[in-house]
Amino acid sequence: MRQSIIQWFRFGSPQSFYPLAGRMIPWFWAAAAAFGIAGLWLSFFVAPTDAQQGEGYRIIFVHVPASWMSMFIYLVMAFWAGLGLALNTRVSGMMAQALAPTGALMAALSLWTGALWGKPMWGAWWVWDARLTSELILFFLYLGFMALQAAIDDPRRADKAGAILALVGVVNIPIIYFSVKWWNTLHQGSTINMNKAPSMAHTMLWGMLLMALCFWMYTIAVALVRVRAIILERERHTDWVKHAVE
């Protein structure tokens, strides 16, 4: 038992995590490509045309996984941030920093594809629906996190300050979500109700799940690439980095 705990902590040091991340990256890229090809094939060639929405509905194969990932990445980011704050492990803070841009990307992608979907279906690029609004606020939270980290020169302080912000954000996300939801029901009648969507065909669901897995693997791969870059940048004064780069 004691042995295994020590093993895990070993990867909390940048020096031992760097090669491990390097070994893992190709696998996650391969998995992302495999899931992506299968998911795209299923969603564009196999899944039937929707009776009400026509071909336009196929945007959801990108939109829904991107929305899921944008929320999930924030939780993972806050987890790493909290871990870094509690255990003072350096790689944790770097992981949080590496995940933030991908999270923001997913949130932006989700908003963008949502707008592309909304125009033909609802007739508007943007409506103040509860989900859209909370996704937008989530995007702002990502931007705030990245801006705070970018403004602090000392990486250790940046990690810790970012960690507090991420944790405060995590506490606030449910509050924001429900407040936006209730605000929405107060202000406008349910002109658009996304909860009563017609039940999906199985192939559509599978396509969406495969695409979600693809996004997930892509996120891990790209976060690991980014964390390796961050490790090299922050540890540039050490001997092992000089050897690793050679």
Partner 1 sequence: MNAFLATVRRDLLLALRRKSEVLTAVFFFVIVTSLFPLGIGPEPGLLKKIAPGILWVAALLATLLGLPRLFAADHSDGTLEQMALSPSPLGLLVAGKILAHWLLCGLPLVLLAPVLGLQFDLDASTLGILTLALLLGTPLLSLIGAIGAALTLGLRGGGVLLALLVLPLYIPALIFGAGAVEAHIAGLGAGGHLSLLAAMLALAVFFAPWATTAAVRIALE
Binding site for partner 1 (CB under 8 A): 137, 140-141, 143-144, 147-148, 151-152, 156-157, 160-161, 164-165, 167-169, 171-172, 175-176, 179-180, 182-183, 186
User: In the bound complex, what is the minimum distance in angstroms from residue 126's beta carbon to partner 1?
Assistant: 17
User: In the bound complex, what is the minimum distance in angstroms from residue 246's beta carbon to partner 1?
Assistant: 34
Nearest to 80 by CA among 230, 218, 203: 230
Nearer residue to partner 1 within complex by CB, 147 or 205: 147
Contact in structure between 11 and 17 (CB atoms under 8 Å): yes
User: In the bound complex, what is the minimum distance in angstroms from residue 140's beta carbon to partner 1?
Assistant: 4
Nearer residue to partner 1 within complex by CB, 49 or 88: 88
CA distance 36 to 19: 26
Contact in structure between 80 and 17 (CB atoms under 8 Å): no
User: In the bound complex, what is the minimum distance in angstroms from residue 243's beta carbon to partner 1?
Assistant: 31
End-to-end CA, the chain: 37
Nearer residue to partner 1 within complex by CB, 20 or 147: 147
Alpha helices in the chain (DSSP H): 2-10, 14-41, 60-87, 90-122, 130-151, 155-187, 202-234, 239-245
Nearer residue to partner 1 within complex by CB, 49 or 172: 172
CB atoms within 10 A of CB 169: 21
CA distance 198 to 76: 31
User: In the bound complex, what is the minimum distance in angstroms from residue 79's beta carbon to partner 1?
Assistant: 17
Burial class (CB in 10 A: 0-12, 13-18, 19+), 79: middle
User: In the bound complex, what is the minimum distance in angstroms from residue 159's beta carbon to partner 1?
Assistant: 9
Nearer residue to partner 1 within complex by CB, 161 or 244: 161
Nearer residue to partner 1 within complex by CB, 85 or 91: 85
Give the C-alpha distances (Å, rounded to integers) separating 214 from 20, 31, 207.
Answer: 21, 7, 10
